[in-house]
Amino acid sequence: MSFSNLKKQSTLGSLTSKLVKEVEKMNNTGGGGDERLWKPEMDKTGNGYAVIRFLPAPDGEELPWAKMYSHAFQGPGGWYIENSLTTIGGKDPLGEYNRELWNSGSDADKDTVRKQKRKLSYYTNIYVVQDKANPQNEGKVFLYKFGKKIFDKIMEAMQPEFEDETAINPFDFWQGANFKLKLKKKDGYWNYDASEFDRVSPVLDDDDALEAIWKKQYSLTALTAADQFKSYEDLEKRLKMVLGQKPAPRRFDEETNNEDNDRGSYTPDFTSRESNPVPKSVKEELNNLSPTKSDSDEDDALSYFQRLAEE
């Protein structure tokens, strides 16, 4: 834009109109969040309901989901909200720092580790069947982030506990089932206990339409590609600042195998690798995905800490 055009637009007031539209767009997309991500919403009664369909692995990929480890906690120097390098089998400065704290033998240090330990989230492609809160989402493909509670329901569908239950593949276009996501607040947290799979049915009775949906899916392997993570040095620098310049030790390896715990995590912005320190969005995400202390993953968490002590 030339300077003369800038002045002309100023006279016409078009710049003001354009800026107002941009602000409205930001507000409608949750402050510039990733538009590929879908999330349920609660109504005025404090409940939420939507019907979604988990989709098969994208073309050329093996798994219909991706796992992401992350950390989200507040220290003296601000918020530490970062994806963990342990997701891709690397060393992570906070994992190493947590290990040193856990092995110190101090109960206070162990409490600190519990507050800042890594969290597990899953990502998958979904087809939105019904979303009354946002009907414009219906019939579209999104990425969906969820925690251990919903993943357990998926596993229960694939490996039912009782003999009179038939195993299904929830990610199958034809022999899968819609997932009725029922949401309510319990003890201050979003609770998904009432969610359930419907009867087996195809997503649509049109293979051409199903193929079109399949081609619209987002790559899951791209979410955990190495270039989506900050370097060890950048993470260490951020950690030191959040901890009040306390050095992060680099003497231990973070164990990544057989980790099944999940207490929620912050949704990363896949369009940028910059840290997002906004407390409001952090609190919202933690409330949405963090289970209560009574959830079954507490035993998994203790097992994780036990492995720290054994190193």
137-152: pLDDT as tens digits: 999 999 999 999 999 9
Beta carbons within 8 Å of 75's beta carbon, 6+ residues apart: 116, 242, 243, 244
Q: Which 3 state secondary structure label does DSSP give 230?
A: coil
Give the integer Cα–Cα distance in Å for 93 and 236. Answer: 6
Tokens 């195809």 label which residue?
Answer: 202
Tokens 């078009």 label which residue?
Answer: 14
* Domain limits, the chain: 33-310
Q: What local confidence, expressed as pLDDT, does residue 187 receive?
A: 82
Q: Which residue has the higher pLDDT, 172 or 286?
A: 172
Tokens 């519990």 label which residue?
Answer: 114
End-to-end, the C-alpha distance of the chain in Å comes to 60
Beta carbons within 8 Å of 4's beta carbon, 6+ residues apart: none
Q: What local confidence, expressed as pLDDT, does residue 26 receive?
A: 45
Segment 209-222, tens digit of pLDDT: 999 999 999 999 99
Position 7 confidence tier, pLDDT thresholds 50, 70, 90: low
Residue 244's φ and ψ, nearest 5 degrees, are 80, 40
Mean pLDDT of the chain: 80
Q: Which 3 state secondary structure label does DSSP give 39?
A: coil
pLDDT at 108 over 60: yes
**CATH for 33-310?**
3.90.198.10
pLDDT at 63 over 60: yes
Q: Which of 18-27, 92-101, 167-176, 233-242 has the lowest mean pLDDT?
A: 18-27
Q: Which 3 state secondary structure label does DSSP give 92?
A: coil
Segment 11-38, tens digit of pLDDT: 555 555 555 555 554 444 344 478 999 9
Position 309 confidence tier, pLDDT thresholds 50, 70, 90: low
Q: Which residue has the higher pLDDT, 308 or 197?
A: 197
pLDDT exceeding 90 applies to what percent of the chain? 63
Segment 256-283, tens digit of pLDDT: 333 333 333 444 444 444 444 444 444 4
